[in-house]
Amino acid sequence: MATARKGSNKNVKRSASNALGDPSQSLQTFSLLDLQQFTKEKSYSNTASKDFHLFYVGRDDVHDILKYVLSRVSVSLYLNMFGYDDDELNAILMAKAMDPQITMLVTLDQSQASGPNEKALLNSDIAKNPSAYNTHFVVGQSATHQISHTKGFVADGRVGGEGSTNWSSSGEGTFVETGMPGGPGYKAQNNTQSIFTDSDTISRFQAELIAEHMTAQQQAGNTQSAAAAKATAAQAPARKSPPKK
């Protein structure tokens, strides 16, 4: 279960890893090496994979890793998150939701969204821009009405993330001291966060995230949003022209 984060998104603090609003920063030249600065060692092993890396909450700076990737989205974002209670990450997603150049689908779990902290966060999003929220966000369950336990995303069709990490201060092990875990009030669950760039996994995961979003929309009785229709059309394979007779 996700652990709640207290507070609202009214006074969200920005950090160096958050590139929101800087058009010079994108994922078009992204490399996993960009994230080694957020590991305990500040560098990877010589034998580390070039298309997959696993980070550890309580050891690596997972909160800044997520901010680094998500704030640089400029094309598309498909995301399903079980525990959604991070003010700064939510502010990034709402900014992307209000950017007409970005296609975004966000799926959230029904049981978690009904909790007091997550509900307050989502209500603040609705109050800020109900059209953007209703276009891009949906709350639901799995196809067989179980929890929607996926915790991952595909950003710009280039970078994927998945793991056991819920979006909360203890779920991510958000640092309270600069550049290191620990300090007064620091809490970290045992969680992992993978970031990957191999094209096959990204393509298959993106299709799954879209399918999970469509299921949640149907459960909510929603008609297909413009964002969902655009994503579905982009995901469908191109039709071949009939052979000439």
Per-residue pLDDT, 7: 39
Is-contact 8 120, C-beta < 8 A?
yes
d(C-alpha 53, C-alpha 173), whole Å: 18
> What are the structure tokens assigned to 185, written together?
């009030």
Torsion of CA 95, 167, 56, 15, to 10 degrees: 40
Considering the entire predicted model, what is its pTM?
0.86
Is-contact 165 58, C-beta < 8 A?
no
Per-residue pLDDT, 9: 42
Per-residue pLDDT, 221: 87
Each residue's pLDDT expressed in tens, for the chain with a length of 245 residues: 554 443 344 455 567 799 999 999 999 999 999 999 999 999 999 999 999 999 999 999 999 999 999 999 999 999 999 999 999 999 999 999 999 999 999 999 999 999 999 999 999 999 999 999 999 999 999 999 999 999 999 999 999 999 999 999 999 999 999 999 999 999 999 999 999 999 999 999 999 999 999 999 999 986 556 666 666 666 665 444 455 54
Cross-strand partners of 154? 78, 160
Per-residue pLDDT, 238: 44
Query: What are the structural domain ranges in the chain?
Result: 32-235
Per-residue pLDDT, 53: 98
CATH pick for 32-235 out of 3.40.50.720, 3.30.870.10, 3.40.710.10, 3.40.50.2300: 3.30.870.10
Per-residue pLDDT, 173: 97
